[in-house]
Chain A
Amino acid sequence: MAKGKTIVKAIKGRAIPLPGDEIDTDRIIPARFLKAITFEGIGRYAFFDERFDEGGGEKPHPLNDARYRGGSILFVNKNFGCGSSREHAPQALLDWGVRALAGESFAEIFAGNCTALGMPAVRLSREAIATLMEAAGARPETEFAIDLETMTIRFPNGELPFELPESSRQAFLLGTWDSTEGLLSHVEEIRARARALPYLNGFR
Chain B
Amino acid sequence: MGKTLLTKVWDMHKVATLPTGEDQLFIGLHLVHEVTSPQAFQMARARGLPVLFPERSFATVDHIVPTLVQERPFGDPQAEAMIAELEKNVRANGIRYFGPASGRQGIVHVIGPELGLTQPGMTIACGDSHTSTHGALGALALGIGTSQIRDLLATQTLALRKPKLRLIKVEGDLPRGVFAKDVILRVIADLGARGGIGYAYEYGGGTVAGLSMEERLTICNMSIEGGARLGYCNPDTTTFDYIAGRELAPAGGEFERAVRFWEGVASDPDATYDDVYPLDAATLEPMVTWGINPGQGVGVSGRIPRRSDLPPERRDAAAQALIHMKFAEGEPVKGRKIDVAFLGSCTNGRLSDLKAAAAVLKGKKIAPHVRALAVPGSQAVRRQAEELGLDAVFRDAGFEWRHAGCSMCLAMNPDRLVGDQICASSSNRNFIGRQGSAKGRTILMSPAMVAAAALAGEVIDVRDVM
The segment from A67-75, A131-139, A140-148, A191-199 found at the interface with B is A191-199
Q: Which residues of A contact B316 (CB under 8 A)?
A: 20-21, 77-78
Tell me, rounded to whole Å, the shortest Cβ–Cβ distance linking A20 to chain B.
Answer: 6
Annotate A175-195 by CB proximity to B: 1 below 8 A, 0 otherwise.
010111011101101100110
B141 contacts the other chain (CB 8 A): no
A171 contacts the other chain (CB 8 A): yes
In angstroms, Cα B146 to Cα A88, docked, is: 8
B261 touches A198 (CB 8 A): yes
A13 contacts the other chain (CB 8 A): no
B122 contacts the other chain (CB 8 A): yes
B20 touches A176 (CB 8 A): yes
In angstroms, Cα B395 to Cα A14, docked, is: 57
Q: Which of A158-186 contact B (CB under 8 A)?
A: 165-168, 170-171, 174, 176, 178-180, 182-184, 186
A193 touches B261 (CB 8 A): no
Tell me, rounded to whole Å, the shortest Cβ–Cβ distance linking B355 to chain A.
Answer: 29
A105 touches B194 (CB 8 A): yes
Between A83, A108, A168, A178, the greatest number of chain B beta carbons within 10 A of the residue's beta carbon is seen for A108
B411 touches A30 (CB 8 A): yes
Q: Which residues of B contact A108 (CB under 8 A)?
A: 197-198, 227, 229
A84 contacts the other chain (CB 8 A): yes
Tell me, rounded to whole Å, the shortest Cβ–Cβ distance linking B429 to chain A.
Answer: 6
B72 contacts the other chain (CB 8 A): no
B148 touches A199 (CB 8 A): no
In angstroms, Cα B346 to Cα A38, docked, is: 26
A1 contacts the other chain (CB 8 A): yes
Asked whether A171 and B20 contact (CB < 8 A) given A38-B38, A193-B15, the answer is yes
Q: Which of B38-73 contact A (CB under 8 A)?
A: 38-39, 42-43, 46-49, 52-53, 56, 63-64
In angstroms, Cα B154 to Cα A180, docked, is: 7
B193 contacts the other chain (CB 8 A): yes
In angstroms, Cα B210 to Cα A21, docked, is: 37
A24 touches B26 (CB 8 A): no
Q: Which residues of A contact B122 (CB under 8 A)?
A: 199
B47 touches A32 (CB 8 A): no
In angstroms, Cα B38 to Cα A35, docked, is: 10
Tell me, rounded to whole Å, the shortest Cβ–Cβ distance linking A38 to chain B.
Answer: 6
Q: Which residues of A contact B190 (CB under 8 A)?
A: none
In angstroms, Cα B43 to Cα A170, docked, is: 23
Tell me, rounded to whole Å, the shortest Cβ–Cβ distance linking B99 to chain A.
Answer: 17
B352 contacts the other chain (CB 8 A): no
A66 contacts the other chain (CB 8 A): no
A117 touches B147 (CB 8 A): yes
Tell me, rounded to whole Å, the shortest Cβ–Cβ distance linking A175 to chain B.
Answer: 10
A199 touches B145 (CB 8 A): no
A37 touches B24 (CB 8 A): no
B79 contacts the other chain (CB 8 A): yes
Asked whether A20 and B320 contact (CB < 8 A) given A54-B438, A87-B36, the answer is yes
Q: Which of B383-432 contact A (CB under 8 A)?
A: 410-412, 429, 431-432
Q: Which residues of B contact A3 (CB under 8 A)?
A: 47
Q: Which residue from B151, B227, B261 sits with its C-beta under 8 Å from A183?
A: B151
Tell me, rounded to whole Å, the shortest Cβ–Cβ distance linking B269 to chain A.
Answer: 22
Annotate B162-186 by CB proximity to A: 1 below 8 A, 0 otherwise.
0000000000000000000000000
A85 contacts the other chain (CB 8 A): yes
B235 contacts the other chain (CB 8 A): no
Tell me, rounded to whole Å, the shortest Cβ–Cβ distance linking A7 to chain B.
Answer: 13
In angstroms, Cα B292 to Cα A83, docked, is: 11
A12 contacts the other chain (CB 8 A): no
A41 contacts the other chain (CB 8 A): no
A26 touches B429 (CB 8 A): yes
B143 touches A180 (CB 8 A): no
* Closest chain B residue, CB of each to CB of A104: B313
A49 contacts the other chain (CB 8 A): yes
Annotate B435-448 by CB proximity to A: 1 below 8 A, 0 otherwise.
01010000000000
In angstroms, Cα B36 to Cα A39, docked, is: 11
Q: Which residues of A contact B356 (CB under 8 A)?
A: none
Q: Which residue from A32, A77, A113, A186 sits with its C-beta under 8 Å from B145?
A: A113
In angstroms, Cα B145 to Cα A91, docked, is: 10
* Closest chain A residue, CB of each to CB of B160: A112
Q: Which of A15-67 contact B (CB under 8 A)?
A: 20-22, 24, 26-27, 30-32, 34-39, 49, 54
In angstroms, Cα B81 to Cα A165, docked, is: 39
Tell me, rounded to whole Å, the shortest Cβ–Cβ distance linking A177 to chain B.
Answer: 9
B4 contacts the other chain (CB 8 A): no
Q: Which residues of B contact A165 (CB under 8 A)?
A: 161
B13 contacts the other chain (CB 8 A): yes
Known pairs A34-B412, A116-B147, A184-B49; list 13 more (Cβ under 8 Å): A2-B47, A27-B432, A35-B412, A82-B227, A109-B144, A170-B20, A176-B20, A182-B19, A186-B24, A194-B53, A198-B258, A203-B250, A203-B254
A-B pairs, top 9 by smallest CB distance, nearest first, are A113-B145, A116-B147, A87-B145, A203-B257, A87-B146, A49-B438, A37-B38, A85-B143, A79-B194
**Can you list 7 pairs linking A and B with CB atoms under 8 Å apart?**
A21-B313, A49-B433, A49-B438, A79-B197, A84-B410, A87-B145, A87-B146
